[in-house]
Amino acid sequence: MVEFEVKGKVWKFGDDVSTDAIISGKYKFKTLNMKELAQHAMETLNPNFAKKVNFGDLIIAGKNFGCGSSREQAPRVLKELGISAIIAASFARIFFRNAINVGLPVVECEKAAKEINEKDIVEVNLEKGLIKNLTQNKVYKFNPIPTFLLNILKVGGLVEYLKQYGGYEV
């Protein structure tokens, strides 16, 4: 189950974070063990990330987050580390779909992506389309995720969704 309200501390990244940067090809071909892969998440961008990230933390990033390869291991390792949501100015489309499919909430909000700082405490309400920056005391609105995608998130991802719904209900 994905909570509709998530809250946590922010890790901030820049524009065009590629799926190669999230999890390098040199690791992902060797195993399907996400725990093992997750130890290398974001390592070229922030070597401390995988060691220091806490369950519930959020990622804030610039434009085109998750560009490049279609590897689903990218959102999976972030979820494995406990990332509760990603807020970005924009997402690359395959990453966006993959994140929903593995039950990792993704939110597009350019203003929030720009103004929220590393280590801020942020709360996101997915259903209402609200981001609250508790550190800076600011509120942002975003276009809520379409209902059928929210339903995929609600049950924790596409595997559960198809088990429950049998097919896509758009």
Partner 1 sequence: MVEALTGQTITEKIFSLAVGKKVFAGDIVVVPVDLAMAHDGTAPLTINSFREMGGEKVWDPNRIILVIDHVAPSSFEGTSNLHKLMREFTHEQNIKNFYDIGWGVCHQLMVENHVTSGMVVVGADSHTCTYGALGAFATGIGSTEMAAVFKTGKLWFRVPETIQCRFTGEIPPNVMAKDLILHMVGEIGADGATYKAIDFSGDVVKKLSVDGRLTLCNMVVEMGAKSGIIQPDQKTYEYLKSKNRFPKTMLKNDPNIKFKEIYEFEISKLEPQIACPPTVDNVKSVSEVEGLEIDQVFLGSCTNGRIEDLKEAAKILVNQKIHPNVRMIVIPASRNVYLEALKEGLIEIFVKAGCTVCNPGCGPCAGAHQGVPAKGEIVLSTSNRNFVGRMGCAEAEIYLCSPITAAISAVKGKITNVNHVR
Binding site for partner 1 (CB under 8 A): 16, 18, 20-21, 24-26, 28-32, 44, 63-64, 67-73, 90, 92-94, 97-98, 101-102, 146, 148, 157-159, 162-163, 167-168, 170
Cβ pair 1, 155 in contact under 8 A? yes
The DSSP code for 67 is B
CB of 129 to partner 1, least distance (A): 19
CB of 86 to partner 1, least distance (A): 15
Handedness of CA 10, 15, 20, 21 (dihedral sign): negative
CB of 144 to partner 1, least distance (A): 15
Q: Which of 85, 123, 120, 125 has the alpha carbon at shortest distance from 104?
A: 85
Cβ pair 51, 65 in contact under 8 A? no
Task: Please work out, in degrees rounded to the nearest 5, the angle formed at the alpha carbon of residue 67 by the alpha carbons of 63 and 68.
Answer: 160
123/160 with CB nearer partner 1: 160
CB of 163 to partner 1, least distance (A): 6
CB of 95 to partner 1, least distance (A): 8
84/101 with CB nearer partner 1: 101
Q: Which of 103, 60, 56 has the alpha carbon at shortest distance from 84?
A: 56
11/96 with CB nearer partner 1: 96
Structure tokens, 158? 């596409």
7/63 with CB nearer partner 1: 63
- Using only C-alpha atoms, what is the Rg of the chain? 15
153 membership: H or E segment, kind and range: helix 147-154
82/146 with CB nearer partner 1: 146
